[in-house]
A and B are shown apart, each in its own frame.
Chain A
Amino acid sequence: MESIYVLEPGAYLRREGECLKIMKNGELVQEIPMEGLRKLTLIGYVSLTGGVLDYLIQQRVETIFMTPTGRFRARLALDEHRHVALRQAQYVRLAEEDFALQTAAIIVKGKLKNMARFLLLRARHYDDAELRLGAVRIKSMADAVDSVKDIKKLRGLEGNGTRIYFDVFHRLIRNPQFEFHGRNRRPPLDPVNAMLSFVYTMLTNETLSAIKACGLDPYLGSLHAVDYGRPSLACDLVEEYRSFLGDRLVLSLVNRREVSPEDFVYRKTAPANFVDEEELKKKRPVEMKPAISRAFVASYEEMMNRSVTYPPSGKKTTYRLLLLHQARAFAAYLSGKSEGYSPFLWEV
């Protein structure tokens, strides 16, 4: 089994040899072979024994802890990658202002182009003038990126592009049961936003794993400023996947009516600032029911294993490996082994 997700609340994991036993209330729920395990994601309140921990550390399994709403909580921090020179190159190069600006510009441009492309494809599909207009506006912003010489302006440009994108996003939803009135988060207030947040967290985690696998430091990026505990580089590199992987997955679930508003639990609440995690937990306005979060994770995983042609090599690969190839390309760019970095531009 390459990846295992545990969502069962109150479950605990035990190990017998190389077999993972998922227990609940002293009873065996499921046994899963662990040979070849690469990634373990624990969603909600799941505990594990020392034996499991030992195996995860020994086999260097990427282990991620998430909240039931899909927020990132923790990661099992394994020993740092051995490639010191690469990390050093990352620190030195990204400290150069020009280089950092150039890198951020590449990322913003890739993101805007992908958003525009996505809107344009859907506009053609639904024959929707508003979507086309949104696409054109974002496209023109992408073209303006090269003339921006200031990181703050660049961030503003990115924010503006994203705003235009989410202003027309509701037109992509073709299921009258769901509404979308703009993007909100921390906490997300409606089902569509909740699903978007969930899938973005998953993608960011995936990107972070890819970054770590090729030896870079995920906490220093260029577009996202350095902040305590924020994996800036992962936030940077995930931008190019948001619309074509994240949004497309959420939209397909909604538009194909694989989810319905009854699949969510709602709580009445005023969207105020929360004092701490505890309060947030009590007051979160919307949450996926267990059955649907399982289906959600399964379709996410299917998507990541879908195959795609990777342009630089022309070879078939999966979306998951694509993220790794892109992270390697970024590492090559930082260490000066290749001229530039190009975000993956979707042709689908």
Chain B
Amino acid sequence: MSDDGGLWLLAIGPTGAAALYWALYRFYRNTDKSHAFERETAVDAKPVTGSNDKVDKITGTRQTRIDGDNVAAYRKRVQRVE
């Protein structure tokens, strides 16, 4: 067991308490619930079109995902182009 591994373990207590609190809070108050219109609305879509252009290459990053990944955060608005 290394020193940094030990420090990481010390976070278990507060993290576990916070996770249990928020999970039960959500179960009672359901603040995260809303109409899932993305899934539950009848949508008739034509095939998606578009392009992919390779513009860069990354080597040796430790990030597991792209910066600002919002592919599943449909309700987070980005710059609106008119």
Say whether A and B bind each other: no
Binding site for B on A (CB under 8 A): none
Binding site for A on B (CB under 8 A): none
